[in-house]
Amino acid sequence: MSLRMLCIFGTRPEAIKMAPLVLAAQRHPKVTPIVCLTGQHREMLDQVVKYFGLRVDHDLNLMQPNQTLSELTARCLQMLTGVISETKPDCIVGQGDTTTALCASMAAFYARIPFIHVEAGLRTDSIDSPFPEEFNRRVCSLTTALHCAPTEAAQDNLLREGYSPNDVVVTGNTVLDALKLSVQQERANSSTWIQKYPDIAGRPMVLITAHRRENHGEGIRNLCSAIGQLADMFPKIQYVYPVHMNPNICGPVHEILAGRKNVHLIPPADYPEFIWLMDQATLILSDSGGVQEEAPSLRKPVLVTRDSTERPEALAAGATRLVGTDPVRIVREVCELLTNRDAYTAMQVDVNPYGDGKASERIIDLACRRFSHQNQLAMSH
């Protein structure tokens, strides 16, 4: 009897991490995946879905201009309830810490359907940092039947909070499954990207990303100030910045950095393009959680422009370093990595602490063992 698995996601990071899971479910003889997009991101979500060739069964397209978190949450929860009622899944899968994941977990709880939380157990020491992600993932944990922890540290967080050891499993992180699928493909496709970026290919390059709410305002202005200083100090190094569409980001970025010869302000990069850029980078400045997980596999040092991170494993391994948004510190840390070979190689780790690229198969097998059995029991009664 096939396990009906409703996979719900709505942002680009979720799509990247859920795609290999959906593909693994499609290959499994005893699983029927049902894909529901909330559309929390739109263009960025669609290109990832297309790149991995996912078949979408339901698209809620719920984003509206300038809607508040409360409005988004209310609409998402209501619409997901309708999808669950229509599809009657045996289990529901959500990923990470987005509003979509929060609502998927709540809708599953209200429908009394087991919720599988992919990338469970990430924590910081403050419920509002990052905001609202830390709150979202803690609420997800409350309703979860199967916690798929990416690392032992994430597992320890959940066990310390009192969740049953029977329900918490270290699976690795599915982002590395996606990376393994895509990086070889984009290396083979390198001529396309070299043609698009003739000024970047083969030259030393710092890749920059910034999008988190806590860095809006002074944080983003400080980051841009540091990049401007570094561009003057190291004119032969290229600084590539795919600029987030949020006006709180793109406004200050263009105001402070536009017009510099070695600073390339480009539109948000599609997933395969960003994988190629990461692969080309000398080092990365980022507030992205996914980048902290992916970059160690490519042996790229990451300076994390946040004051805290829920990904301490990369810090402990030496692959990432917290630098916040203080421009003096950012300039100092980047200078060290660009000029001190020993400091640079010390951040190139041989083993990625987030897994081996086989997390998706583990999660599907766990779900089959756990929830197919429950489904058969329910049918027998």
Catalytic residues: 97, 119, 133, 211, 213, 244
CA distances from 199 to 51, 133, 239 (A): 26, 37, 11
Q: Residue ranges of the alpha helices (H) in 239-340?
A: 247-257, 271-280, 289-294, 312-317, 327-339
Q: Write down how long the chain is.
A: 381
Phi, psi at 194, each rounded to 5° = -65, -40
Structure tokens at 120: 């469970």
String of DSSP letters for 167-199 = GEEE---HHHHHHHHHHHHHHHTHHHHHHH-TT
- Helix, strand, coil percent content, the chain, rounded in steps of 5: 50, 15, 30
Long-range interactions of 140-144: CB distance < 8 A, separation 24+: 140/94, 140/97, 140/101, 140/102, 140/105, 140/115, 141/117, 142/105, 143/105, 143/106, 143/108, 143/109, 143/115, 144/105, 144/115, 144/116, 144/117, 144/120
